[in-house]
Structure 1
Amino acid sequence: MFTDRETEKEFCLYYTEKGEGMPLVLLHGNGEDGSYFVHQMDFFSREYRVIAVDTRGHGQSPRGTAPFTLEQFAEDLKYFLDVNGLSKIILLGFSDGANIAMIFALKYPEYLKKIVLNGGNLRPSGVRAGVQLPIVLGYAMVAVLSLFDKKLRRKKELLGLMVTGPHISPEELLKLGVPTLVIAGTKDMIKASHTREIHESIPDSRLCFLEGSHFIAGEQPEEFNQTVYKFLKEK
């Protein structure tokens, strides 16, 4: 959905791509851009057409005038796929990217062949308290300061994504029929019990914990890539 001031023709997401074959679309986390997946681009481009997208207001993608929400980002992704003639893709999302992927999958499952969810959460309480509390306090402080300093408005929006959402229903995920890999770090900022809840809510999904933090795709790229690759090759 686009606002009256922002038409579809005016809004374009920035992306980089490498390789040929089945499209593998990568969605980064909060405050990042597609370059987060540098190790995945090189590895998977040997067999797939890998496309790393910068989310609205991240990296080189414009902020635009539409709402700065995960739901809007999912709509942006649909428009991006339609414009580029992409369908039956593999979607790999990290952190907020995983949340966008779940929202997108629930609304547009026909676009997806497989999904990889790395470090996603269904609701803010899925984040460990020691991580979430500073985010909430930071958001409250920035929300006040942004009234006097316009430069802080972007920071407010980014923190707001983690404070006000997501709100994804486990009951809705039970209806998802797309093959899914749920993957997280053993020391992830997402509670292990919450990651298991996502896995248990998606029928016939796979679950994997790799040694490391929230950022296992960068910390353990070989193990991460091989785990994802094995899943992608499953029939």
Structure 2
Amino acid sequence: MAGDGEPVLLLHGGFCSLESLRAQSDALVRDHRVHAYERPGHGRSKDIDGDYDYGRGLSDTLEYLDAVGLASAHIIGYSDGAIIGLMMAMEHPERVRSLVAISGNLDPSAFTDSAGQSLMPVDDVTERADVEREHYERLSPDGPAHADVVLGKLLRLWTSEPNIDPAELKKITAPVLVMAGDRDTIRPGHSLLMASSIPGAQLAVVPGTSHNLIAERPELISLMIRRFLTGATAR
């Protein structure tokens, strides 16, 4: 935890540590109280036996909020973190002051293009593998070799979950900003579907970026988040 002001919770993506959200944390800590943790098998957190699922990710997030004494917070979620944020906003609306969902998806079909080809973000993981593996090898209590185990479990997760009905998004009452790259592995139409299914949600498509947009345009992403939070807080 760092900073003072409205509480913000950062939720990192799959095969990422909190280092991937360092730029956003540094920008937000100026006038927000920033909270963050790392899910099992990521960053500084030891892995668990068995596969991952987003339901457990949601439970872990709620437990973290309880542990630090937060009844609610502004949620900033990237990729897997965005999915957990959407689930929290639907199932526990009282815990979510606002939500920024960056490169999230509702189901695995989000990675399938119009020709039926898979756009699963394996290539994105490969492109940033040196950086993420460096963080993993430096931070993980499980040792460098365990990275391949984590990646295997993540690929099984990404090809089977989540399974969110777009109609269920109408339950969300918090202000929401859906964000994605214009070259994201998440199809643009999928991000538009998400935003249009959430009452009053905003959609931001960041030019010249991929699924790794938070690293490619960190200053722009942080600026958009800060401006969104200013409006959400003023409501």
Taking the aligned partners of 1:154 and 1:96, their CA distance within structure 2 comes to 14
Amino acid aligned to 1:226: L
Separation of aligned partners in 1, 2:161 and 2:59: 16
CA pair 187-86 structure 1, distance change in 2 beyond 3 A: same
Structure 1 residues 226 and 150, CA gap change in structure 2 (3 angstroms): closer
Q: Is the Cα contact below 8 Å between 1:115 and 1:181 reproduced in 2?
A: yes
Alignment of 1:1-235 (within 5 A): 17-65=1-49, 68-128=52-112, 129-132=117-120, 153-211=149-207, 212-234=209-231, 235=235
Distance in 2, matches of 1:186 and 1:124, equals 18
> 1:186 touches 1:192 (CA, 8 Å); kept in 2?
yes
Provide runs of 4+ in structure 1 moved above 6 Å. Answer: none
1: distance between equivalents of 2:229 and 2:60? 25
Which secondary structure does the structure 2 equivalent of 1:159 belong to?
Answer: helix
Shift of 1:156: 2.1
Q: Structure 1, residues 95-132: CA drift from partner, whole Å, max 9, x if none?
A: 11101111122211101100000000000010143422
Q: 1:151 and 1:222 mapped to 2: Cα distance?
A: 29
Q: Is the CA contact 2:88–2:96 (under 8 Å) kept in the aligned structure 1?
A: no
Contact between 1:20 and 1:48, CA under 8 Å: does it hold in 2? yes
Q: Relative contact order: is structure 1 or structure 2 higher (C-alpha 8 Å, sep ≥ 6)?
A: 2
Aligned identity (percent) is: 32
Aligned to 1:9: none
Give the SS at the match of 1:131.
Answer: coil
The whole-number CA distance in structure 2 between the counterparts of 1:63 and 1:169 is: 30
Figure out how many residues of one structure are paired with residues of the other and give that number: 206
Give, in whole Å, the separation in 2 of the partners of 1:165 and 1:122: 8
SS at match of 2:30: coil
Q: Any stretches of 5+ residues in structure 1 without a counterpart?
A: 1-16, 136-148
Change over 3 Å in CA distance of 1:44–1:151 after alignment to 2: closer
Q: When the two structures are superposed, what TM-score results if normalisation uses the length of structure 2?
A: 0.82
Report the alpha carbon displacement of residue 158 of structure 1 after superposing the two structures with TM.
Answer: 1.4
| 2-structure distance, mates of 1:176, 1:150 | 37
Using structure 1 for the length normalisation, give the TM-score. 0.82
- Superposed displacement of residue 227, structure 1: 1.0
CA contact (8 A) 1:75 1:104 kept: no
Helix, strand or coil for the counterpart of 2:120? Answer: helix
Report deviation, 1:33.
Answer: 1.1
Q: CA deviation at 1:41?
A: 1.2
* Separation in structure 2 between the aligned mates of residue 24 and residue 159 of structure 1, nearest angstrom: 29
Shift in CA distance, 224/152, structure 1 to aligned 2, threshold 3 Å: closer
Letter paired with 1:131: L
